[in-house]
Structure 1
C-alpha cells in the first residue's frame, strides 16, 4: 500500500469506506448518493460535505485530505510531545505525582506566571511548544494541589482545570481525540471543585470544539448552546470575564449551526454574540480564552464562509479591525478569507492569501483542513503556487 498522502482524495475515501456500500455511506452522512459517488470520483468536495463524510467514517477531515494518515501522520516532535502530555494527564488524574525532590515545590505566583507563559505560546498557534509547557505545568500544579491547605484548594482546582483544558485543546488540534476528551473531562471536574463559573462556562466551548473537530456537529451545537444557557450572565451585574465566556459559547454555537447549514439559527446566534462583544467594548483575554469585537468579527467571516456567503464574508473581513486577534485566531481567519476568495472564483488571490499564511506559519498550517480544500479546488490556476504550498504542507501536489 502506498503512502497515504500520495493517494487522491477520492482514493482515500474509497479506502475509508472499505466494504461498505456507497448507499450506506450516503444514508449515514445524510448526503445524496450522487455526492458520495462524485467525491470518490474526483475528490472535489465542499467543506460541509467533508465534515459529513468525516463523521460517517469517524475520522478527521485532515485524514480525508491526506494531511494526516489514519493513524495521525505528524512530526516526531509532535508525537513526543503528545506522548508526554498524555502520560502527564493520565498520571496526574490518577494521583501519580512527580517526586518533590525533582525541584522546588511551586507556589501560586510561580504557577500563575507559568500559566500565563503557556497561554501566550498557545495564542501564537505554537501548539507543540504549548504542549511542552502544559505537561510540566500540570505536574507542578498537581504537586501544589496535593500539599495545599484547605483554604487554597479552590485556587489549586482552578489551576488544575486550566492545565487540563490546555492539554485538551492542544490534543484536539493535533488530532489526538481520546486524549482531548479525557483532558476536557478532567478540566470540567476541577472547574466544578473550584466553584468557578467563568472556568465552567469556558469549558462549554472547549468541549464543543472537540466535538466539532470529531465531526459531531449536532452535539457541538447543543453543548455550546447549553453552556451559554447554564451560565447566562446579567449584563448589568456580571464581570467581563463571565460575559466573555458566555459570548464565546454563543459564537461557537453559531459556528456549529453554520456547519449544519442552518442559516437562520446561525444568524441569530451571531447577532447575540455581536451584542455581547459590543457590551464588552474590547477583547478579553483570560486563561487561554479570547472574546470580544475582534473575535466575533473573525467568527462572522467563518460562519458566512460555511453558509456559502463568500461575498458577505469578504465584506466583513475587509471592514473590521483584526488587530485584537491572537496570532492563531488571525491565521484561522485568513484561511477563511482564502476559502471565501476561492468560492468567489478569485483563484490566484485565494492561493496568494493561503501561501502567505502557510509560509509564515507552516507547522500550524499542516494541521488545518482548509488548505487542502482550496488546493483541490483551484489547483488548475497556478502550478507554481500549488507546488510551493504542497512543499510547506508536506503533501503531494494535486494539479489538474
Structure 2
C-alpha cells in the first residue's frame, strides 16, 4: 500500500477524533489490521471499504493521488517476454516524421476478423502468452488496413482495428499493465465513435470501467459508466439482446464502483437497473464480437452476492451462493455466465468459507478453479488474499494440497 494511502487513513482517523483502537472497533477489524494500514502494509479492498464506512468517507478519499503500479509478478514471466513487442506495436515511438516501428502490411479483412476471433478464444482459454504473441501483428496489420483502404472497406477495417484494440486492452488489464491497457481501450473508443459505432464504443467503456476499478479509481468508473448507460439507454420492448447486455454491464460497473466507494444507495439503484436489463434478456448473453463480456440473470445475481462479500457477510454469501438464480437448475435454465465472472464469484465463496473457519471447503473451491482456470487464477488478487488468510488462520499443519496451491499463487506458506 502506498505511503500516501496510509497517511490519508491516519488523517481521517484523527479528524474523526478516533484512536486506532476505536477505529478498529467501529470498522469491526483487529487493532493489528488498523496499525498495518497506517504503517503502509498491504491490505485488501474489503478492509479499506470497512475503514471508509467507519470513518464516514468514500473509499476513494482514502487513496493517494498516484495510481497503483502495474507490476508483473513471477508467475507472469510467460507474458513478460511478449510485452516489449506489444508495446512497440501499440505505442510506437513518434518523431517529426513517421513512427520508427515497422507499419506492417495491410491485413485482409476476413483474416483480421478471424485473427481477432481466434485470439479472443485463446484469451478465454487463459492462454495469455499466445494472445500477447499474436496481438502485435493484429495491431499493425489492422492499422495499415485503415490507412490504405477506402470507402466501405475502410469502415470495416476501422471496426476490425477496434476489435484488436479492445482485445489488447482486455489482455493488458488482466495482466495489470494498466497504462498500456488504458491507451488501447481509449483508442478503441475513439475509433468506434469516429466510425459511428456507438454500441462498440460503449463496449469499450465497459472494459475501461473494469480497468478503472482495478486502479481503485472508483469515482471515475462510476461516473463514466453511468453517463454512458444514460446515453445508450435502450427501449426495453424492442431492444436487441446485445444492447441490453452492454447496458446491463455498464450498470454492473456503476454498482461495483459505488459498492467499493461506500455509496450504498447508488449501488442499490445500479443493481436494480442491471436486474431490469437481465430480466428483459431472460438468459445469459455472450455474443462476440458485438458483445465482449457476458451478462444475464445469473451474472447480475452473482455480482449482487459480491456486495455481501465486500461487507464481510460470509453467511450471506454462502446462503445465496447456490440458491435461487444461482442454483444448478437455474443456471442450466438461464445459461452459464462467463468463466471469469463465475470464477470471481467462487472466490467470494472461498473467502466466506475461510472467514467461517471452513478451510477444506475453501480449498475445494480453489482447487476446482485451478483445475478449470489455472492461469486466470494466478492473476486474481482475491485468490492470494484467500490463500493468505487461510495460511494465517489454520492451526494445524498444512496439507500438501495447501502447500501446492500457495506455490501456484505465489503466496508464502
Q: CA deviation at 1:190?
A: 0.6
Is 1:375 matched up with 2:398?
no
TM-superposed CA distance for 1:183, in Å, is: 1.0
TM-score between the two structures when normalised by the length of structure 1: 0.81
Instruction: Please give the residue correspondences for 1:166-181 in structure 2 after superposition, counting only pairs within 5 Å.
Output: 166-181=167-182
Tell me whether 196-205 or 49-58 shows the greater mean CA deviation: 49-58
Query: Counterpart in 1 of 2:300?
Result: 296
Q: CA deviation at 1:141?
A: 1.5
Once the two structures are TM-superposed, the CA of residue 236 in structure 1 deviates from its matched residue by: 2.4
Which blocks of at least 5 consecutive residues in structure 2 are unaligned?
21-32, 50-58
2:331 maps to 1:327: no
2:355 is aligned to: 343
Distance 2:137 2:42 in 1: 43
Residue 298 of structure 1 contacts residue 333 of structure 1 at CA under 8 Å; is this kept in 2?
Answer: yes
Query: What residue number does 1:204 align with?
Result: 205
Correspondences of 1:209-224 after superposition (within 5 Å): 209-224=210-225
Which string of whole-angstrom CA distances, capped at 9 and with x for unpartnered residues, describes residues 74-128 of structure 1? 533211222222211113998655443xxxx533222222222122222233333
Q: Is this contact kept in 2: 1:300–1:313, CA < 8 A? A: no
Separation of aligned partners in 2, 1:92 and 1:111: 24
- Correspondence for 2:10 among 21, 26, 33: 26
Instruction: Label 1:46 to 1:314 Cα distance change in 2 as closer, same or farther (>3 A).
Output: same
Q: Relative contact order: is structure 1 or structure 2 higher (C-alpha 8 Å, sep ≥ 6)?
A: 1
Match of 2:47 among 43, 46, 49: 49
Gaps of at least 5 residues in structure 1 are 1-12
Contact conserved, 1:301 with 1:313, CA < 8 A, in 2? yes
Q: What TM-score, normalized to structure 2? A: 0.79
Give the 5 Å matches for 1:1-400. Answer: 13=1, 16-17=2-3, 22-27=6-11, 34=20, 36-39=34-37, 45-49=43-47, 55-56=63-64, 58=66, 60=68, 73-91=74-92, 98-100=103-105, 106-285=107-286, 286-287=288-289, 288-319=292-323, 320=326, 321=331, 324-379=336-391, 380-381=393-394, 383-384=398-399, 385-397=401-413
SS in 1 for 2:294: strand
For residue 330 of structure 1, report the CA deviation from its aligned partner: 2.3
Relative to structure 1, is the Cα distance of residues 196 and 97 closer, same or farther in structure 2, using a 3 angstrom cutoff? farther
Distance 1:99 1:140 in 2: 6
Q: Contact between 1:92 and 1:142, CA under 8 Å: does it hold in 2?
A: no
Judge conservation of contact 2:205–2:225 (CA < 8 Å) in 1: yes
d(CA) in 1 for partners of 2:227 and 2:167? 21
Q: Please state how far the C-alpha of 1:258 moved relative to its aligned partner.
A: 1.5
- Which secondary structure does the structure 2 equivalent of 1:284 belong to? coil
Task: Tell me if the contact between 2:9 and 2:38 (Cα under 8 Å) persists in the aligned partners.
Answer: no
Counterparts of 1:294 and 1:348 in 2: how far apart (Å)? 26
* Displacement after TM superposition at 1:265 (Å): 2.2
Deviation of 1:369 after TM superposition, in Å, equals: 0.8
- Secondary structure at the aligned position of 1:56 is classed as coil
Bigger mean CA deviation after superposition, 122-131 or 264-273: 122-131
The answer to which of 147-156 and 170-179 deviates more is: 147-156
Q: Which moved more, 1:360-369 or 1:87-96?
A: 87-96
Distance 1:225 1:309 in 2: 27
Separation in 2, partners of 1:276, 1:328: 20
Q: In 2, Cα distance between the equivalents of 1:33 and 1:204?
A: 41
Superposed CA deviations along residues 130-177 of structure 1, whole A, max 9, x for unmatched, are 233333222221222222221222222222112112111211111111
Tell whether the 8 Å contact from 2:46 to 2:312 is kept in structure 1 after alignment. Answer: no
**Cα distance between partner residues in 1 of 2:274 and 2:73:** 34
User: SS state of the match for residue 210, structure 1?
Assistant: helix
The secondary structure found in structure 1 opposite 2:228 is helix
Paired position in structure 2 for 1:10: none
The Cα offsets for residues 251-300 of structure 1, whole Å up to 9 and x where unpaired, read as 11111121123333222211221221121122222222222223223322
Change in CA separation of 1:329 and 1:84 when aligned onto 2, cut-off 3 Å:
farther
Q: For residue 211 of structure 1, report the CA deviation from its aligned partner.
A: 0.9
How far residue 196 of structure 1 moved from its aligned partner, in angstroms, is: 0.8
CA distance in 2, matches of 1:271, 1:21: 32
